[in-house]
Chains A and B, each alone.
Chain A
Amino acid sequence: MEQATLLGTHESTAIKLSINGKDHSLNVEPWVVLLDALREYLSLTGTKKGCDHGQCGACTVLINGKRINSCLTLAVMHEGDEITTIEGIGSSDNLHPLQQAFIDHDAFQCGYCTPGQICSAIGLLSENKVKTTADIRELMSGNLCRCGAYQNIVAAIKQVKGNIAE
């Protein structure tokens, strides 16, 4: 559909986002997606931009514990939500078990997809639908890895999940 003349004003609005347990106040225009708000407005650059279209999973964050693509949601739609990014998961001297497992299994090469893989895997484990290794593959299919570290990513998640069938 062709666009009409612009309606009203498009001023930025002051919003408050709760990220990794901390409140952040920022001014955003309505068209700023959550991914850009995190990276460009709040300098939380752990969350990565890959495709910007929901096709790669690099931008995965947790909203109220559920994994979503931050590139396909508006920042103004997340006031009142608890947002968790990779910056809120573990720390250098106290790694999350999944972070340790990724290191143990060499589950990355360039590392660009890794924050999204880890956030996605946290969502996967809390969803509790995995019974087999095949389920891990299927339920991690929303995260692409250009370096092709898939075997090791699956092995890392398997380590945290515990013993499961093929």
Chain B
Amino acid sequence: MNRFTFNKAGNIADAFSSQQQSDFSKFIAGGTNLLDLMKENVERPDHLTDINALPFQEIGMNEDGGLRLGALVTNADTAYHPEVEKRYPLISHAILAGASPQLRNKATNGGNLLQRTRCYYFYDTALPCNKRKPGSGCGALQGFNRIHAIFGTSDHCIATHPSDFCVALAALGARVNVTGPSGERTIEFEDFHRLPEDTPEKDTNLHPGELVTSIDLPEYGFHENYKYLKIRDRASYAFALVSVAAGLKINDGKIEDVRIALGGVAHKPWRNKEAENMLKGTTPEKSAFEQAADLILKDARGFGHNDFKIILAKRAIVKTLSEALNS
């Protein structure tokens, strides 16, 4: 780990001013991703601002009937919160499918959104990686790419976003509240993470120095028919090769609303509204789910080692929707 200076921000203004001292400073929340990357010399901040005392600590009701998840609430406290368990079980299940109990006790909601890819080339400073070192090339493109993306890739980067929580947030259509030196704003979840294009060093549309303060869940949480399916190399404590978050709202035997978001397959949680719209108004049955899966996978492209994800994702979508229907 490189040397750095450290301070604890007592309030938001404090956090901004301590960050403005250098272009290479970072916020630290749970530290479970940042310190891991610092130990590998992948992240080399010269200053850390501890944001754990900032007032983003609560889960509470919003005026529109939705729920607000504070950025500093831990993943564990979020997953086991009674309102989340009752109204947004998809969120609970997705969080509990990720990491380990120890990590979830430390990992925060804001940090989870901003965790970086697990691409092996990104982690190895001896190898090329455009995300870590812009212009150095993408090691994965012609290298080992078993865990890499099949949607929304570019010639510059084929990494995936590793979060489970974010897949459920994408499915529900959450919003991210942020604050920065130039004010507050709200970002739709689908606009929060970005595709790599020719600037893979940028994971999200958060501006430098901005803080995530909370995440808003919409009023309806698909609590009746939902499923989070995570497929990985071992049964627990591993990142997703493919994951699917699905919610169905059934009315009079027809699909009134449906959400399908995929994890482990792109630089951001992957949602295809065309496929969701195709399902709306139809009878929920396997053949319809298969058509939707075909439509979603139409855009997929493998890079050799990860070709298996295309057929795996297709089957996972059908299985997840079927299980959501019967849940």
| Chain A residues packing against B (C-beta within 8 Å) | 1-10, 29-31, 33, 52-54, 57, 60, 66-69, 72-74, 76-77, 120, 123-124, 127, 129, 137-139, 141-143
A1 adjacent to B102 (CB under 8 Å): no
CB of B87 within 8 Å of the partner chain:
no
Among A31, A60, A129, residue most surrounded by chain B Cβ atoms (within 10 Å): A31
B31 adjacent to A77 (CB under 8 Å): yes
CB of B47 within 8 Å of the partner chain:
yes
Q: Provided the pairs A53-B39, A77-B52, A129-B80 are in contact, do residues A3 and B102 lie with their beta carbons within 8 angstroms? A: no
CB of B24 within 8 Å of the partner chain:
yes
Among A1, A9, A76, residue most surrounded by chain B Cβ atoms (within 10 Å): A1
A29 to chain B, nearest CB (A): 8
Q: Provided the pairs A60-B102, A142-B237 are in contact, do residues A3 and B21 lie with their beta carbons within 8 angstroms? A: no
Give the residues in chain A near B31, CB-CB below 8 Å.
72-74, 77
Among B25, B35, B201, residue most surrounded by chain A Cβ atoms (within 10 Å): B35
Q: Provided the pairs A7-B22, A77-B50 are in contact, do residues A2 and B103 lie with their beta carbons within 8 angstroms? A: no
Residue of A nearest to B42 (CB): A1
Residue of B nearest to A33 (CB): B35
Residue of A nearest to B35 (CB): A72
**Chain B interface size, under 10 / 10 to 19 / 20 to 34 / 35 or more:** 35 or more
Inter-chain contact count A-B, CB under 8 Å?
114
| Chain B residues packing against A (C-beta within 8 Å) | 1-6, 8, 21-25, 28, 30-32, 35-36, 38-39, 43-44, 46-48, 50, 52, 76, 80, 99-103, 105-106, 132-133, 201, 235-237
A142 adjacent to B3 (CB under 8 Å): no
B6 adjacent to A4 (CB under 8 Å): no
A59 to chain B, nearest CB (A): 9
A109 to chain B, nearest CB (A): 21
